[in-house]
Amino acid sequence: MTAAEIRRAGSRKPHSLPKSDAGLIAAAVKRNGILDNIAKGAGIVSRSFQQNNGDGNAAPDDPFGTPEYRSAWLKNIRRLPLNDAEKRAFSNATGAGAEAIPTQTANEIIGKVKTLAPMLNEVTLLHVKGAVKFAIEGTNNAATIHTENASIAAAADTLTTVSLSGYEIVKLVQISDTVMTMSITAFESWIVNMLAEAIACKVEDLLINGTGVSQPKGIDKANTWGVTNSVTVAKAGALSAANVQTLIGLLPSGYDRNGKFVMNKKTLFTDFMPLQDNSKNHIVTVQNNAYFVYGYPVLLSDYVADHEAFLGDFKKVCANLAENIGVKSAYDIETNSYKYSGIAIFDCAPAIGEAIVKLVKATA
């Protein structure tokens, strides 16, 4: 049926059309309307369907994201009774692992971890289960001018592969039986804060100081530090603006775009803050509570040693949180208390050593 025929038929009164023709015309009009909307750039509504759990009731796409499952999980780890709705939600999630942490709680924990360990926001962070090999850009040669009709030779660009496995980071906290009297919201807030803070501190420590031997490898082990990638300040000496300028000069310009300093607060305020350049301008500037050294943003971490600092593109450090931070619980009958264990599977490693330079304080 052509568009003209549809328009003519559409102008006829509905009762004058045979039922079969009326249905076809209605479908054709609807189809033409959809095509017209597409041509005009209108959005398309995509229908989504929830899975059916076999008893005639639609199951949620994320069984761990329902309020009932969250409530059931937070009650279950305290050995509190569940109501009927919570029992159903907990039962529906059994096939995927009923002990899985609720989506909202997991998001709150990882959000808290990233807030307390800001280095996690600076590295290339993956969320892949198990061991993973990650390719990151290595040598990236500049574009070249091409002579017309001449053969084009591929640039000798490279990719660097980083292999990450997983190391358990565990924090055990213990609380008396008074946990039973907490509201669901109060208990969730308590357990999120306790576990996230402990795990975040350890993750940031490993990102900076991990040895790479039976544990993740941190930025302090990115290189064998020497005159080509570090500046050393004498044990009895004081940091100078010239030292900082030399350090900045050691970082290849290709990493300047994402270049940042990381140091502890004491180093920033006692070593860097007093420094001025030859024009008597302070090398440290402050904008909206953020610090900059010669324009490079400064990250603060208590896990960098006093009087030392790193400058680099920390996106060249790969890290992997293999799964959501899990929580296990147990009742200790001897102390009438509950024990909660937070577990994270984490690994990290610098992919490109030249992307990081270090300010070193001599020890001898």
pLDDT in tens, 118-143: 899 999 988 888 777 767 666 666 67
Which residue shows structure tokens 């004058």?
Answer: 16
What lies within 8 Å, CB to CB, of 331 at 6+ separation is: 79, 337, 338, 339
The average pLDDT across 153-164 equals 73
Check whether domain 101-140+154-364 has CATH 3.30.2000, yes or no:
no
Q: What does DSSP say about strands 132-137 and 159-164: parallel, antiparallel, or unpaired?
A: antiparallel
- The contacts of residue 266 (CB under 8 Å, 6+ apart) are 306
Average pLDDT over residues 219-233: 95
Secondary structure letter of residue 159 according to DSSP:
E
Out of 2-11, 63-72, 187-196, 264-273, the most confident range is: 264-273
Question: With contact defined as beta carbons under 8 Å apart, do 254 and 244 qualify?
Answer: no
Chain mean pLDDT for the chain: 82
Question: Model confidence at 42, in pLDDT bands (50, 70, 90)?
Answer: low
Q: What is the per-residue DSSP string for 309-341?
A: EEEEEGGGEEEEE-SPPEEEEEEETTTTEEEEE
By C-alpha distance, which of 226, 228, 170 is closest to 198? 170
Question: Which is higher by pLDDT, 200 or 49?
Answer: 200
Residues 10-37 pLDDT 10s: 555 555 555 556 667 777 777 777 767 6
CA–chain centroid gap for 149, Å, is 47
Q: Is the pTM higher than 0.85?
A: no
Q: Tens digit of pLDDT for each residue in 79-119?
A: 888 888 888 887 776 555 446 788 888 888 888 888 888 89
Residue of higher predicted confidence among 161 and 220: 220
Query: Of residues 331 and 358, which shows the higher confidence score?
Result: 358
Domain parsing of the chain, residue ranges: 3-39, 49-100, 101-140+154-364
